[in-house]
A and B are shown apart, each in its own frame.
Chain A
Amino acid sequence: MPEGYETVVGLEVHCELATATKLFCGCPNVFGAEPNTNICPVCLGLPGSLPVLNRRAVELAMRIGTALGCEIRPSVFHRKNYFYPDMPKDYQISQYDEPVNVNGRLELPDGSVVGIERAHIEEDTGKTTHVGATGRIHGASHSLVDYNRAGVPLVETVSAPDIRSAEQARAYVIELRGVLVATGASDGRMEEGSLRVDANISVRPTGSDILGTRCEVKNLNSLRSLVRAIEYEARRQVELLEAGGAVTQETRHWDEDAGVTHPLRSKEEAYDYRYFQEPDLVPLVPDAALLEAATAGEALLPSDRRRRIAEVFAAHGAEASAEQVLTVIELDLDQLVLDAVEVGADARLALARAANEAAARPDDARRLDPRAFADLVKMEHDGKLSATQSKTVLGALLEEGGDPADIAARLGYEALDTAELEAAVDRVIAESPDEWTRYVGGDAKVTGYFVGKVMQATKGRADGKVVSSVLAARRDEAAGR
């Protein structure tokens, strides 16, 4: 970000709810079905059809509201009128000025807090494919529409413009995704479109508390796109202002290949959508039964999971790497670490092996027997396996399961006792008199040479750190200290 400017971002995250059916009809809510097979008179808006609200969608929306600390209020539905073939009815049913959830907050792992203005229920639109020379919107000869997605329940979570950088936006989406998955509302799959993000981006002189003119950037299909688009768009706006120009409020489309945003359509003013209350639906009131369903059966939120790890580590006097903690929570491996610690594994080492090696194969890691994982961590911690050996055994454990001690034995990783190790070090010293003289003379650079030789001699069974300390001890003896 150029000096003297601040980026201001508010995010709108659309989350498809994990219901069995659509929001207002019994058509299946599934991803990847043959085009136009999950449609009925209601989601096609055929004359005489009437929408009826899905109870499960309401419960999930209220769960999201609860998890985000929102006030859950009586709400109504509106028609948002527009001409675009992605909605067969020519309107989308959404919540406008009286949404179900308002005034929440989301605390990010770094302690910053992003306000949640609202999280409302609406229906998704159909999917359009642009046919033509480029496959892009501009220059298409015609478009094809699949209405399977039209009417799928969504919750749109709108943040306050509290986000100040692309990285914070990324952290916000990861945290929100964790909340949506924990509530059972979503599978969180961005690549399948279960989660879609629009970013309202503006810039202003540092220290100003007036919001600049914003652009809404769409087509952010991954966290990477989100970060790149915010960085690009903020730079574009600053360059405009620096050149004496002004930012125009508009909707812009992120082009992932070109790494730029370009204008899509001038943003219609709110009244152009001619919102009016949906006459076919009655108000939604959070009664006792709905509120109870909204708080029942909720899994731990990401913030609770971070707190839980922090508590366990504190109890063991261990320090947890914040980055590793985020990784294991995101990949659902935090329980594995806690279970391993519970049966005696070293906390710091268990976390490291889970966040680095196990995280490379998250599906296998989630199936790992915590006791076997704990045994492995103990073997490494007790010096029975070197770090390299431990990683290899863990790889085999992830692949085929079993007992880490058996795997280690099969691989020939038998414990190298101290006498054997010292003998190996002494042999290497005897074979390399010149290097040894340099080492004793204080040349630390040859340490690696000796460690490498010992590793070779022991076929990788030695622990590098132990070799270094034996070398240091021999040097001190040689120097007569």
Chain B
Amino acid sequence: MAGIGIDEVRHVARLARLELSDEELHGLVGELTALLEHVDAIRQLDTSGVPATAHAIPLSNVLRDDVVGPCLERDEVLAAAPAAEEGRIVVPAILREEP
């Protein structure tokens, strides 16, 4: 049966870097369970004769030639970042969760 526990919701929230209150977590348990039940209902359909579809549009090999196109102005890009240094974007120290 479909369903999702609060621990799983908390785990997924952490992966998505979402900070959720207990109230929000409980609310999401209900909402996500309803969604999963809906998927479960679809899963009941007999699809044994239906080939797997990779994409909604029956299309393959959409390719472009290896030709250089325009890039953005660096100053424009860096202006949109919270902070920049030496032409690079400043981000918080990586792996600070590590011991």
Q: Which residues of A contact B (CB under 8 A)?
A: 19-21, 25-28, 34-41, 44, 52-58, 74, 76, 81, 83-85, 128-132, 137-138, 140-147, 264-265, 272, 274, 277, 279, 281-285, 287, 290
- Contact (Cβ within 8 A) B61 A36: no
Point out the residues of chain A lying under 8 angstroms from B67, CB to CB. Answer: 20-21, 26
Q: State A55–B87 Cα separation when bound (angstroms).
A: 31
Pick the most buried of B17, B85, B89, B91: most chain A CB atoms within 10 A of its CB.
B89
For A41, give the chain B residue with the smallest CB separation. B72
Determine if B90 is an interface residue (Cβ-Cβ < 8 Å): yes
**Who on chain A is nearest to B85 by CB?**
A144
3 closest A-B pairs by CB: A26-B69, A56-B66, A144-B88
Q: Specify the chain A residue showing the minimal Cβ separation from B98.
A: A265
Is A19 a contact partner of B66 (Cβ separation < 8 A)?
Answer: yes
Partner pick for A130 among B17, B61, B87, B93, CB 8 A cutoff: B93
Question: Is there an interface contact between A44 and B54, defined as CB atoms closer than 8 Å?
Answer: no
Task: Closest B residue to A128 by CB, please name it.
Answer: B94
Query: Are B91 and A44 within 8 A (Cβ)?
Result: no
Chain B residues closer than 8 Å to A285, beta-carbon distance: 60-61
Chain A residue, CB-CB nearest to B53: A283
Contact present for A57 and B66 (CB under 8 Å): yes
Q: Specify which chain A residues have a CB less than 8 angstroms from the CB of B89 in the assembled complex.
A: 36, 85, 144-145, 147
Chain B interface residues (CB < 8 Å from chain A): 15, 17, 54-55, 57, 59-72, 74, 77-78, 85-95, 98
Residue from A76, A144, A264 in contact with B54 in the complex, judged by beta carbons closer than 8 Å: A76
If over half of B's interface residues share one DSSP class (helix, strand or loop), that class is named, otherwise mixed; here it is: loop
A84 x B64 contact (CB < 8 A): no
Q: Which residue of B lies closest to A17 (CB)?
A: B66
Cα–Cα, bound, A19→B60 (Å): 22
Q: Is the CB of B93 within 8 A of A35?
A: no
- Would you call B66 and A146 a contact (CB within 8 A)? no
A282 and B68 form a contact (CB under 8 A) = no
Say whether B88 contacts A146, CB under 8 Å.
Answer: yes
Tell which of A39, A52, A142 has the most Cβ of chain B within 10 Å: A142
Q: With CB as the reference atom, state the residue of chain A lying closest to B89.
A: A145
Contact call B54/A85, Cβ cutoff below 8 A: no
Name 15 A/B residue pairs within 8 A (Cβ), A-sorted.
Answer: A20-B67, A26-B68, A35-B87, A37-B71, A39-B71, A55-B65, A56-B65, A58-B63, A83-B15, A85-B89, A130-B94, A143-B92, A281-B62, A283-B54, A283-B60
The smallest C-beta distance from A461 to any residue of chain B, in angstroms, reads 58
The answer to whether A144 touches B90 (Cβ under 8 A) is yes
Partner among A27, A131, A145 whose Cβ is within 8 Å of the Cβ of B71: A27
The residue in chain A whose Cβ has the minimal distance to the Cβ of B66 is A56
